[in-house]
Amino acid sequence: MGVARSSLRGETVCGDLEVIGERAGGVLVGVVDGIGHGDEARAVAERAVHTVLAARGRSVIAIVRRCHQELLGSRGVVMSLASLSVADDTMTWIAVGNVTVLLLRADSGAVPRTEGIVTRGGIVGSRLPLLHASVTCVSPGDVLVFATDGIRAGFVAQVNTVQSPQHLADRILAQYGRDNDDSLVLVARYRGTTPREG
């Protein structure tokens, strides 16, 4: 995995945070973007990350609902989560608000080569939309990219699935990050299971 972030010009903290947590049979990854900027955005994003990780054994829909309940009365967050299962090489993902999530296939012959999830408008902790999670297959080498709204569109053309996740995250932030918003890029490469010897 690789993470790159920057705060709004003039701020000392970033309200965009990553979520990375092991769960039975796989891993949960995602991005949380606290509404607004500065200390308050950071505080609500930290609350959201804590809630997500505490509930990481549940479905992604249940996690978002739990987060919504915990954040009621706050400024809220937008978020995207992906639960990857190595048992059957699947990913279940969900997005609320304007956090981009893209899956790029390592297999150049895959159709489609790039897949995205439809985000539901709303704010976790304020206006939760009707939730919908999608399931797709993943293969070793596939790359998952999360980008908050501080990253301009069009970065997918720069993604080379062979490069290291940290290099990709740094490059996307450097080339597509806005200085008038908090920005975060999380890149994860799916490795699948480690073959057994014998």
pLDDT at 153: 87
Domain span at 95: 2-189
Task: Establish if 61 belongs to a structural domain.
Answer: yes
Q: Has this prediction a pTM greater than 0.85?
A: yes
Q: Cα(129)–Cα(152) distance, rounded to whole angstroms?
A: 24
Q: Where are the alpha helices (DSSP H) in the chain?
A: 38-54, 60-71, 165-176
Mean pLDDT of all residues in 52-59: 96
pLDDT (tens digit per residue) in 180-191: 899 999 999 999
With helix as H, strand as E and coil as C, how does 82-112 read?
Answer: EEEECCCCEEEEEEECCCEEEEECCCCCCCC
Give the count of domains, the chain.
1
Task: Establish if 14 belongs to a structural domain.
Answer: yes
Task: Establish if 7 belongs to a structural domain.
Answer: yes
Task: Establish if 118 belongs to a structural domain.
Answer: yes
pLDDT at 194 over 80: no
DSSP character at residue 162: T
Task: Establish if 197 belongs to a structural domain.
Answer: no
How many CA atoms within 13 Å lie on the side-chain side of 150?
30
Task: Establish if 66 belongs to a structural domain.
Answer: yes
CATH code of residue 29: 3.60.40.10
What are the beta bridge partners of residue 137? 90
pLDDT at 103 over 90: yes
**In degrees rounded to 5, what are phi and psi of residue 167?**
-60, -45
Task: Establish if 196 belongs to a structural domain.
Answer: no
pLDDT (tens digit per residue) in 148-182: 999 998 888 778 788 899 999 999 999 999 988 99
Mean pLDDT of all residues in 19-26: 92
Task: Establish if 126 belongs to a structural domain.
Answer: yes
Mean pLDDT of all residues in 111-121: 85
